[in-house]
Structure 1
């Protein structure tokens, strides 16, 4: 009987789900990473060894790409914190005109494809940008060069500081108003309260925001490729080694990928260690109440918020405007007047197909992410075991993987029998699930941790099965956290470039790849038109979220 009981325990539904999830991670994550590790030792002369790693670290050119990536990531993280934290502080602690509109614009400024943001900045401040031409013609003032390090930092900072805003806003909403009142009663007010009370209480979220900004800046492919010119970074070098800018070298691309994984993993572990030093819990009975600022300070906070957000959105708005300008037949030169010429041209060249691909890939990816994330979060929070800890660890591995690495790993693993996926839509969906599932898992784990287990136990004691209780009680209560994670996953999927550019074919082209093709051809009008459609896609997604979410504020 005891043996039968143990056998039933092993075959219990949640154990079966855990084994299935482990199997999926082993096939689609661990195996591809093992393949890319093995390929990193393949030398161009057909032998095996450490030559690729020696080449990377001994050649100043390649090692400089590592230094460049760190420089960009650190500076972008610092600037994003300096801009995003005060913005969240003003937004949550003070009454501001047009808060709902301001929040939507802040989120929109962060949700375009990175390379499109860089492309938009070129249209505004590039050598032939609209502001550059205006200043030269009216004031004979020559704008500083935006290309290279400066351009990458500007483009990434204006896109990533909203992430700091969202994380900080989420932290501020968890602070009990009595703490603010107590500090004010003790004479700690204004700037002093901000540094002595607010920043320490928000430190775990600030560390999480710093990590995600650093990781995104480190792994970004499109921005340095678009605006970096001679300033090369890690992801660009991986891509060039793989596609063969001066001769394809898969082994060297794999070696750089392994270095990238190790470095980002070390950064992630360091952040986790630092965050653990600031770990604490807060029971917020009364959320922070917005108060009216003094007239002079009120002007300052409104000016700071709207000018900052206006600068971040300016390139996108000009990109939308540009999409309606008349162009030559090639789309390279803008002419006088406005029309839908660029939109007609992209429609003729396959817009509907790429729109359909983007929708299908995005929808199926998010659906799979939601199902897996809900199961994984439940196993991690409610069914703690060795299996759940293994799953939790594997679920965070994609957090430190650059998109180009994921693409190369999948191609190297599934381009031969028994499972040939290269060139299919399926491999793109798998790559999107791998890269974006950590975000939804983290948000689901956070919300599930706040739901008392007693509610599930009560349902089970009344005769409900475990699975019925899970879908009928637990999942609905996790709804808002799941939706927030799904929104972030959806938007990052439909704006993804670094993985798609390696995996796509003509039949699986997405809107971001479609835009990139027009950009590389110099077809500015058509590129602007597709980028505008992609922005509209994002706006509709955000609107749907605001309509179905119980909490109208988007936080992380």
Structure 2
């Protein structure tokens, strides 16, 4: 009897049970608590009052309309920019292509609120560009605040997702398809719209989903430059912060509405992708050719302008971090005073970011490898359930996840609110899907015969996984871990809900400094984050021998 029990409770069965318990405690229970809280009145009774209030008052439901307006427009613009950019970069020889791709990766991996802050410095009421045009040409540039500013920041931040996805798809396309189209007289824009676009449509939709979700969930950008143009994440944050101790149930109801909307959108996108997917093999991959004349000029102009605009936020924060400041104003001259103030006043925020990030990353890598292996090699109902539930935070906005965890763990027996643990848990839950998907992708490419050979030589399943499979998985794991790491250290949406004075991270500190108009220290902290991102990329390229990051 005991031997039978030992056989049933082998390494992978115990791992599956442990993972189920982990997600039950830190995801299913908090989401259940959120759902129940959204239907509770202040006296604890069941009520639909919160949902009724949302749909009856224009102030509330208008925020949802604003969110949809922003996300739909951003997604369309990101596709309109990202697809042609990927096509030109893949089919034409572009000068400085390597540097351009690094700039694109840096721009997509930096936090959106840094972009918002940078554009305030440039096009705000006292911005450099705004003052220049007013003083020299008596021209008032369009305001960066409101819908237009949010659209600009999100589009320049998120179009690289479309670019990276479509670039990856074009590398799998056989050049003979294009040659056949050209032999039939289909060239230029017609070739792109009738041949290339239909073939990469599933990839475009996958990238569009990422753009849509990121813009829908982002809190920092509309909070900094919205100025009355309230979106759902801002509304949820404002209601929760202003109503703590009074009516947190209304914030829970708003969060429930957001989860329902993102889930429906995600399911619809998956359905369309599955219906429209194609198999492609690149026996003869597309080779870039050198364009000539006006085509070459406009191709380079388009690429340089778009990428130049996308990288402006990083250039702006790095430059301004070395400027002298007087209050909220930058003055002539260069200094390291902003960095000195940051290290003196906010050294703990920098340390917290790296310590929490490293702890979260180690756990993310372990969980990502275990879940991906179990879901691919040990497929059953329970491992499929774990794989599905672990991906769910991918579509849950950060501010919603923050409120979910705070409502669930603000009392005994698991009192985690105000501790570093709750921040680390939110990082793990929210950023685990990146490492999971990249790990699963590499497992599909590994033959089970190597594991079978190891087990036949006397190694246990656990030792086989650690000594054989895990090592072979490492290239795919590192790609996902890079994205998990960079998004963890840049995380704001959930951190702004969960942090305390002792657990503040760099992203929260940057946001706080911008709100206080302490632009010098905000720029210095932003530069540290940007440099960390670049160094992380360089380490990744060095360790993997790769020169690109695939999503």
TM-score range, shorter chain: over 0.9
Match of 2:66 in 1: 68
Once residues 178 and 546 of structure 2 are traced to their aligned partners in structure 1, the CA distance between those partners, rounded to angstroms, is: 23
Structure 2 partner of 1:226: 224
Aligned to 2:330: 334
Distance between the aligned counterparts of 1:281 and 1:458, measured in 2?
Answer: 32
Matching residue within 528, 548, 551 for 1:553: 548
Change (3 A) 1:64 1:142: same
Q: Which runs of 5+ in 1 are unaligned?
A: none
SS at match of 1:478: helix
CA contact (8 A) 1:36 1:412 kept: yes
**1:393 corresponds to which residue?**
388
2:57 aligns with one of 56, 59, 67: 59
Aligned equivalents of 2:208, 2:389: Cα separation in 1:
22
Q: Counterparts of 1:116-135 in structure 2 under 5 Å? A: 116-135=114-133
Which shows bigger deviation, 522-531 or 441-450?
A: 441-450
Q: Is the 8 A contact 2:114 2:313 kept in 1?
A: no
State the secondary structure of the residue aligned to 1:336: strand
Q: Secondary structure at the match of 1:326?
A: strand
- Report what 1:402 is aligned to: 397
For the residue of structure 2 that corresponds to 1:244, the secondary structure is helix
After TM superposition, list the pairs within 5 Å mapping 1:515-530 onto structure 2: 515-530=510-525
Shift of 1:286: 3.6
Candidates 39, 50, 60, aligned match of 1:41: 39
The counterpart of 2:500, out of the listed 497, 502, 505, is 505
Conserved? CA contact 1:124–1:315, under 8 Å:
no
Q: CA RMSD in A?
A: 1.8
Match of 2:241 among 219, 223, 243: 243
Distance 1:91 1:332 in 2: 41
Instruction: Quote the offset at 1:46 in angstroms.
Output: 5.2
Question: Does residue 364 of the first structure (1) align with residue 377 of the second (2)?
Answer: no
Higher mean alpha-carbon deviation, 138-147 vs 209-218, is at 138-147
Q: TM-score under structure 1 normalisation?
A: 0.95
Q: Residues 448-498 of structure 1, C-alpha deviation per residue, up to 9 Å, x if partnerless?
A: 223333333344344443233323332233222211111111111111111
Q: Which moved more, 1:202-211 or 1:445-454?
A: 445-454
TM (norm. structure 2) is 0.96
Alignment match of 2:425 (pick from 427, 430, 438): 430
After superposition, the C-alpha distances for 1:137-182 in whole angstroms (9 at most, x for unaligned) are: 1111111122111111100111001111111111112223333333
CA contact (8 A) 1:69 1:234 kept: yes
Deviations 1:91-130 (A, max 9, x none): 1222111111111111111222211111111111111111
1:460 maps to which residue? 455
Which of the numbers 304, 318, 329 marks the counterpart of 1:306? 304
The answer to whether structure 1 residue 492 and structure 2 residue 487 are counterparts is yes
After superposition, the Cα gap between the structure-2 partners of 1:479 and 1:293, relative to the gap in structure 1 and judged at 3 Å, is farther
**Matched residue, 1:538:** 533
> Alpha-carbon deviation of 1:247?
8.6
Q: Could you say what secondary structure the match of 1:96 adopts? A: coil
Q: CA deviation at 1:403?
A: 0.7
